[in-house]
Amino acid sequence: MKRVSTASRLFFIDFDSTISLRDVCTTIPLLNRCSAERKHDWSLVSQSYLSKYEQTWRMIEHEKLKIEQVEKEIDLVERFGVTRLQASRALADISRTDLQQLGDLKQNNNAREHVDQFMQQYFTQKPLYFPLYILSTNWSYDVVSSGIRSVTRTSLRVSRVSVEQVKTMPPLVDEPTVRILVNDLEFENDVSTGVMSQQCTTSVDKQDFVKAVLEATPKEDLTSFFIGDGLVDFASMRVVDHGILLKQEKNLPWLEYFLKQFPERIGTKSLPIEKVRSKEIEIYTAMSWKELLPLVSCEKAADNV
């Protein structure tokens, strides 16, 4: 079996509930130290979002929508939630320091098991050609960048990037580099104003970013992966070579719906990835990062990935 360098592998990875064990994003409003009213605002926003989501999902199941239609409906729910969040100012009066501490996944026992091993193996491979791309609908760059640093035991060049920026950035790097597509809060004197700059709120935002990176990246010997856990990740999984769904208990209802309605679109074949030959299955499933370690191991890498 022919060996190939792991340096020819390009990874796009979701953050909340993929790298983190639990969703970090929804705990951000609870960092507000100044006003019980702000926290009450967040409670109302959260309730309205969940109600909208449940209503939409009942409609999806009733009408048996196709996967692309499902994504559009869920994107509308996500935009609804962000709009309500911005109007409530539930994200105001939060310190940057508290956001960074919230993002420290190792300190908070909130990193998925073996994700640190994956990151360590990826960033110590030689040569290192591609940046690692993190695509997150989280509301804070400080949270996500802190989280990435906490699960990586090496010096990193970390930056926030947009779709337009990535089109003109060098696609190859010579040092450990992480580029993050994420929303971010605006600050005055390191305290959030409640206004959020929106870069990544829907599946379309993520997919457009992935397409822009792939278009700017040399294609020779390239294999691309998207690793995520949710509905908002599926559109991106379908434009890379291999989409990988990290399953969790919360995934099961809608995953079972897709498997029942569209079995030809989602693969249930388990990893390790290097043993999977069929290109007909677009999305693979895994239960843990341990199953994904062969993807960043030169010893186990094979040309049939």
CB contact at 8 A, 208 and 162: no
Confidence of residue 273 (pLDDT cuts 50, 70, 90): very low
Q: What is the pTM of this model?
A: 0.88
Element (H, E) at 192: strand 191-197
pLDDT at 276: 40
Q: Where are the domains of the chain?
A: 6-296
* Most confident among 102-106, 264-268, 288-292 (mean pLDDT): 102-106
pLDDT at 71: 84
pLDDT at 282: 59
Q: Which two tokens stand for residue 255?
A: 């995953």
58 Cα distance to chain centroid: 25
Q: What percent of the chain has pLDDT over 90?
A: 48
Query: What's the order of all strands across the beta sheet hosting 132-135?
Result: 157-160, 177-181, 132-135, 9-13, 223-228, 242-246, 283-286
- Residue 292 CB coordination number (10 Å): 24
- Residue 39 CB coordination number (10 Å): 14
CB contact at 8 A, 286 and 18: no
In 3D, which of 287, 236, 241, 234 has the Cα closest to residue 262? Answer: 234
pLDDT at 254: 65
Interatomic CA distance for residues 232 and 208, integer angstroms: 12
Query: What's the order of all strands across the beta sheet hosting 184-188?
Result: 92-95, 191-197, 184-188
Task: Give Cβ neighbours of residue 63 (< 8 Å, ≥ 6 apart).
Answer: none
Confidence of residue 212 (pLDDT cuts 50, 70, 90): very high
Longest Cα–Cα distance in the chain = 62
Q: Does the structure show a pLDDT above 90 at 3?
A: no
Q: Does the structure show a pLDDT above 50 at 270?
A: no
pLDDT at 61: 82
Q: Does the structure show a pLDDT above 90 at 134?
A: yes
pLDDT greater at residue 7 or residue 284: 284
- 3-class DSSP state of 10: strand
Quickly list DSSP for 49-102. Answer: HHHHHHHHHHHHHHHT--HHHHHHHHHHHHHHHHHHHHHHTTTEEEEHHHHHHH
Kindly report, residue by residue over 53-108, the tens digit of the pLDDT.
Answer: 889 888 988 888 877 788 899 899 999 999 999 898 889 999 999 999 999 999 99
Interatomic CA distance for residues 155 and 150, integer angstroms: 11
pLDDT at 196: 93
Q: Which two tokens stand for residue 19?
A: 């790298």
Q: Does the structure show a pLDDT above 80 at 222?
A: yes
pLDDT at 250: 56
CA dihedral 24, 29, 31, 37 (to 10 degrees): -160
Q: Decide yes or no: CATH 3.40.50.1000 for domain 6-296.
A: yes
Interatomic CA distance for residues 295 and 305, integer angstroms: 9
Q: How far, CA to CA in Å, does 204 sit from each of 42, 110, 186, 209, 234?
A: 25, 28, 23, 8, 10
Confidence of residue 13 (pLDDT cuts 50, 70, 90): very high
Question: How does 117-143 read in b/e, with b if 16+ C-beta sit within 10 Å?
Answer: bbbebbbebeebbbbbbbbbbbbbbbb
Q: Does the structure show a pLDDT above 90 at 301?
A: no
